[in-house]
Structure 1
Amino acid sequence: MAAETHLQGVEISAAQFFDIWHHYDSDGNGYLDGKELQNFVQELQQARKKAGLELTPEMKAFVDQYGKSTDGKIGIVELAQVLPTEENFLLFFRCQQLKSSEDFMQTWRKYDTDHSGFIETEELKSFLKDLLQKANKQIDDSKLTEYTQIMLRMFDANNDGKLELTEMASLLPVQENFLLQFKCVKMCRKEFNKAFELYDQDGNGYIDENELDALLKDLCEKNKKELDINNLATYKKNIMALSDGGKLYRTELALVLCVEN
């Protein structure tokens, strides 16, 4: 099987990395957990042994951490740290600029240039090019186009050719990805509009920090399994990073709350 064969490689290409991720994330929820993670750990060890290769120090630490754990969870970022992936492609997952959700939100603000709520192909290409330049890496345009297409295939869950905020958030490590928690707080457009109008108490068309505080407290209360009220200050700081000078408009808040039409 292709994904298992790829695990035997000395260096894994961007396309092979995509195949591996797609194979093991069998339910397509954006991370490996439970049986998916156990299968990956087991088949990684078997593949390396079959190829006559030792586990790298990163692989060994990974197997030690997750080999017997039934409640582990990893995302694409964690997987990229374990596999000997093509250097330039790996840089996207090691980017210091995206070391926190707040940094990520500010970066999103920069690259969603038309404020459409999506990063489209050309915007994504600019984003990836910038990351490589920050790491002092040069890359030719054809390779950059290939990486852009693979990133789209990897993160574009609804196959619409553009990335939503929550899809792009897969570039963050699972533990630091507060948007994964908000994925479970889905609202329909009607519910969201009603909530926005309720918390936009002065009716000025945007939510400020105090109004957001009230909204988040209620969301935490209603979604105790997914959201932890002790993380309220972090949620608020990360979401306000999307705001325009302290003003959080309807379209931006809808991105975080994964509003469904």
Structure 2
Amino acid sequence: MSIDLGSAEKFIHIKPRENIFREYRDPTTNKFVTLSANDFIKIWKHYDNDGNGHIEGQELDDFIIDLLASIIPSKSIQNISKLFFENFKASFMRAYDDNGNGRLEVKELAQLVPLEENFSIIFDGSNHLKSSVYFMKLWKKYDVDKSGSIDASEFSSLLRDFYAKVRKKNIKPEELQEIADIVLEIFDSNKDGKLQIGELAKLFPVESNYLKRIKLMKSKKIKSSVINRIFKKYDIDGNGQIENEELEGFLKDLVELQTDEYELGQIEVVKKLVLRSCDMDRDGRISKKELIVILNSLVADKKDPKRRRNILLCS
């Protein structure tokens, strides 16, 4: 820890040390210079000490202190009021902690510092997908070997096509590979050299999880109008059935009601259980009537919290 609280009760004493933010400020204007992908990950790894994909706790305090100290000439700041620090931290997190989880994530750091154009596209919203149905279509397209994860080669192909679509032109192979390696390193939270489905979901987030948006798990009962909206949301082709990527997108959203850390196998387990319990005609699809059975199980009797929480229960 780089902050010495000492015996003072009202101040945080800052020890002289390297401040990585100062490396990336213009010496004349003190503005941040434009960061390359390598610069960005250097800052990220400097504070994400445990490599868990978040800057939190002591890491976050270090980050805030260094950010504050980098604004002021190094010889001018030795102590910071604890009250000022806490107020600044709270204000900073209100501005940058978009999901309100009390931690700083990669995409939130990307809002703070200017990035080179080709790298900034990863974080500027161009990668947002309309729904989890479209995410599952993306996943199936690039998990070419059906291994249940996206390896480095598959990810490079995905990123190449993404840049071609967003920028309407090809990116230089060496630059693409540099960005692919760094992005993979950032989002590969379990460090297995591949992207699991939950990891890719953080890189290509959906505009909103519809089931979270309607606060499904907090509902006491579901109105028929809400059921109709849910069904329409996932029945993308309008054929009266939720099937294939539509069903998998729905199940992905269900899983995310309980956790943001998941793998494809968890979605497949839920799919088998849901179809076994709720697919009355055994056609491998979910009709509106069958969806009603599923949704009613999710908002089951308030007196039975275990039943209420169990997204696998359809009977």
State which of 187, 195, 199 in structure 1 corresponds to 2:277: 199
Does the Cα contact within 8 Å between 2:131 and 2:206 map onto a contact in 1?
no
Long gaps (5+) in structure 2: 1-17, 26-31, 75-88, 210-252, 300-304
Amino acid paired to 1:132 = Y
For 1:82 and 1:174, the matched residues in 2 are separated by 22
The structure-2 alpha-carbon separation of the partners of 1:164 and 1:188, relative to structure 1 and needing over 3 Å to count, comes to closer
Match of 2:8 in 1: none
Q: TM-score, normalised by structure 2?
A: 0.52
Q: 1:165 to 1:2 in 2, by over 3 A?
A: farther
Distance 1:158 1:216, change over 3 A: farther
Measured after TM superposition, the shift of residue 121 of structure 1 is 1.5
- The match for 2:178 among 127, 143, 146 is 146
Count of residue pairs brought into register by the alignment: 218
1:128-158 Cα distance to aligned partner (Å, 9 max, x none): 1122222235421111111111122111122
Conserved in 2, the CA contact under 8 Å of 1:3 and 1:20? yes
Higher RCO (CA 8 Å, separation ≥ 6 residues)? 1
Cα distance in 2 between the residues matched to 1:171 and 1:13: 18
Work out which of the residue numbers 185, 189, 193 in structure 2 matches 1:161. 193
Task: Name the structure 2 match of 1:240.
Answer: none
Alpha carbons 1:121, 1:161 under 8 Å: kept: yes
Deviations 1:39-92 (A, max 9, x none): 3233223224449xxxxxxxxxx9844279996344222221221122211101
Aligned to 2:47: 24
- Structure 1, gaps ≥5 residues long: 52-61, 230-261
1:132 aligns with 2:132: no
1:1-261 matches, cutoff 5 A: 1=18, 3-4=20-21, 7-8=24-25, 10-50=33-73, 64-66=91-93, 72-102=102-132, 103-133=134-164, 134-172=166-204, 176=208, 179=256, 181-183=258-260, 192=269, 195=273, 198-199=276-277, 201-202=279-280, 204=282, 206=284, 208=286, 222=306
More deviation, 154-163/216-225: 216-225
Sort the Cα spacing of 1:90 and 1:99 in 2 relative to 1 into closer, same or farther, 3 A. Answer: same
Q: 1:135 to 1:166 in 2, by over 3 A?
A: same
Q: Give the Cα separation in 1 of the matches to 2:188 and 2:171.
A: 23
Q: Is the 8 A contact 1:185 1:223 kept in 2?
A: no
What is the distance in 2 between the residues matched to 1:146 and 1:64?
Answer: 34
Helix, strand or coil: the match of 2:111?
helix
User: Against the structure 1 CA distance between its residues 83 and 173, is the aligned structure 2 distance closer, same or farther, given a 3 Å change threshold?
Assistant: farther
Greater radius of gyration (CA)? 2
Q: TM-score w.r.t. structure 1 length? A: 0.61
- The CA RMSD measured in Å over matched residues stands at 4.4
For residues 257 and 48 of structure 2, what CA distance do their matches in structure 1 show?
A: 15
